[in-house]
């Protein structure tokens, strides 16, 4: 019997033009370029400053490029999944806004909230629609406008995050490429003290007091998150490799969530994968939350070859974490 898998058949990205460099941040908070580079690996991030534009805009631009490269119309898309923690509005879902912006007249869709693991969780979800035979073309988008929820007086968080969007198209494949395996985890214990946005939801709706107390910004206990991320990302990547009989030599690329260069190198170490086989763009974009992994896929697309074994791995708020084994479906850039 033929095995149908969900293959990534095209990718696209959007990055705002405005750059926020470490030198800019030196003028805003008590920090310095050396500290930021040595502790995180980040040199600059992108920030979407244009009024009237937010996550849906970036997601739609990434999606348009992704579809154009594959040469298919938006009306052919069946499902749009948008992973984000910075939706344009609490409701409607960002996916609905993207549907309208790109003119995907035959698509339905919804948002997935899993913070930095959002893209991985959405990929795994989207693949089910393909494998089940229900749908043929699923757009999976990771997009976040982190600048909307970052406190630019808090040096613990403002040095880390940036804005951006990445999109991939999933289509059925019976030739052995596509999403081979994935493993996802959630652990909600203790998460509210470590990584969250306190107000703005139904527990603490926006009031003058919540705004004055800065409760609509990200709060992060960096040390706790760091420790959990190092273990979580490395463990789950190793688990997926082990259950698929892969060694470091079999892996063409590690595609890690870009949170911190030190977390990434610990994961690569554990997998037995050299840093020359790790996709990196954290230096230029910082942590774009749900967008980091698809942004890596776009940036490295020209060097990817059909049959390459990719291990995608992420850790984020929730806590959420996971890894996916993808056999790449095509050579070089889609046109």
257 assigned to active site: yes
Beta carbon nearer to ligand COA, 33 or 76: 33
Q: Which of 22, 66, 96, 116 is an active site residue?
A: 116
Q: Which of 22, 96, 287, 296 is an active site residue?
A: 287
Q: Which of 66, 158, 257, 260 is an active site residue?
A: 257
296 assigned to active site: no
The two structure tokens encoding residue 56? 């849906």
Beta carbon nearer to ligand COA, 14 or 161: 161
| Closest C-alpha to 48, from 37, 36, 60, 40 | 60
- How far apart are alpha carbons 285 and 8 in whole angstroms? 23
Beta carbon nearer to ligand COA, 41 or 109: 41
Binding site for ligand COA (CB under 6 A): 31, 35, 39-40, 116, 155-156, 159-160, 195, 220, 222-223, 225-226, 229, 259-260, 287, 315-316
Task: Report in angstroms how near the CB of residue 218 gets to ligand COA at its nearest.
Answer: 9
Task: Report in angstroms how near the CB of residue 241 gets to ligand COA at its nearest.
Answer: 21
Residue sitting closest to ligand COA (CB): 222
Buried-state track 155-165, b at ≥16 Cβ within 10 A, e below 16: bebbbbbbbbb
Task: Report in angstroms how near the CB of residue 4 gets to ligand COA at its nearest.
Answer: 33
Task: Report in angstroms how near the CB of residue 119 gets to ligand COA at its nearest.
Answer: 12
281 assigned to active site: no
**DSSP calls for 13-41:** EE--S-EEEHHHHHTTSS--HHHHHHHH-
Long-range contacts of 130-135 (CB under 8 A, 24+ apart): 130/4, 130/5, 130/6, 130/170, 130/171, 130/172, 131/4, 131/5, 131/6, 133/4, 133/172, 135/78, 135/79
Which active-site residues does the annotation give? 116, 257, 287
């Amino acid at each position: 019997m033929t095995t149908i898998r969900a293959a990534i058949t095209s990718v696209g990205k959007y990055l705002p033009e405005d750059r926020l460099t470490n030198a800019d941040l030196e003028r805003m908070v008590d920090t310095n370029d050396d500290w930021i580079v040595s502790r995180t690996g980040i040199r600059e991030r992108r920030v979407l400053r244009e009024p009237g534009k937010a996550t849906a805009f970036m997601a739609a631009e990434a999606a348009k490029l992704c579809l154009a490269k594959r040469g298919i119309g938006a009306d052919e898309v069946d499902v749009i999944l948008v992973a984000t923690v910075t939706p344009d509005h609490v409701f409607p879902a960002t996916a609905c806004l993207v549907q309208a912006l790109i003119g995907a007249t035959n698509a339905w869709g919804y948002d997935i909230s899993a913070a930095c693991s959002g893209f991985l969780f959405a990929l795994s979800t989207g693949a089910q629609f393909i494998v089940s035979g229900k749908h043929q073309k699923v757009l999976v988008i990771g997009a976040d406008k982190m600048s909307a929820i970052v406190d630019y007086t808090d040096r613990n968080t403002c040095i880390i995050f940036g804005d951006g969007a990445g999109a991939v198209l999933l289509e059925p494949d019976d030739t052995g490429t596509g999403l081979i395996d994935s493993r996802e985890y959630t652990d909600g214990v203790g998460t509210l003290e470590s990584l969250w946005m306190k107000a703005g939801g139904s527990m603490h709706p926006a009031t003058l007091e919540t705004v004055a107390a800065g409760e609509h910004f990200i709060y992060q206990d960096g040390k706790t998150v760091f420790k959990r991320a190092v273990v979580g990302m490395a463990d789950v990547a190793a688990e997926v490799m082990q259950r698929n009989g892969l060694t470091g030599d079999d892996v063409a690329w590690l595609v890690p969530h870009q949170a911190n260069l030190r977390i990434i190198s610990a994961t690569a170490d554990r997998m037995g994968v050299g840093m020359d086989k790790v996709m990196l763009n954290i230096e230029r974009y910082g942590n774009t939350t749900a967008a980091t992994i698809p942004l890596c896929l776009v940036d490295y697309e020209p060097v990817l070859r059909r049959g390459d074994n990719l291990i995608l791995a992420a850790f984020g708020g929730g806590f959420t974490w996971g890894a996916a084994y993808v056999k790449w479906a095509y050579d070089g850039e889609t046109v």
